[in-house]
């Protein structure tokens, strides 16, 4: 691991400027992508939580 970090550090020292331009639209696309992933993960776990509660309520009703 230390060898990897050392090599990564060396690459940062010898890199040259890219002279790249990132317009605001790029950050909008990146932000939208991150928000979409977060919403999908939240919806996935919420769906699992709802199904788990439904199964537990069915088990409780059968035991009564």
pLDDT at 59: 83
Mean pLDDT by 10 residues, the chain (64 residues): 86 79 87 96 96 89 72
Kindly state whether residue 8 falls inside one of the protein's structural domains. Answer: no
Number of domains within the chain:
1
Whether residue 63 is contained in a domain is answered as yes
Residue 5 domain-assigned (yes or no): no
* Integer CA distances (angstroms), 36 to 28, 32, 33, 60, 61, in order: 12, 6, 5, 36, 37
Residue 50 within any structural domain of the chain: yes
Per-residue pLDDT, 23? 83
What pTM does this model have? 0.55
Tell me which residue range forms the domain holding 52. Answer: 23-64
11 part of a folded domain: no
């Amino acid at each position: 691991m230390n060898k990897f970090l050392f090599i990564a550090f060396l690459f940062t020292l010898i890199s040259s400027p890219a002279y790249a331009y990132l317009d605001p639209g790029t950050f909008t696309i990146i932000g939208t992508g991150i928000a979409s992933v977060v919403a999908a993960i939240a919806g996935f776990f919420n769906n699992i939580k709802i199904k788990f509660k439904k199964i537990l309520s069915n088990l409780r009703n059968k035991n009564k």
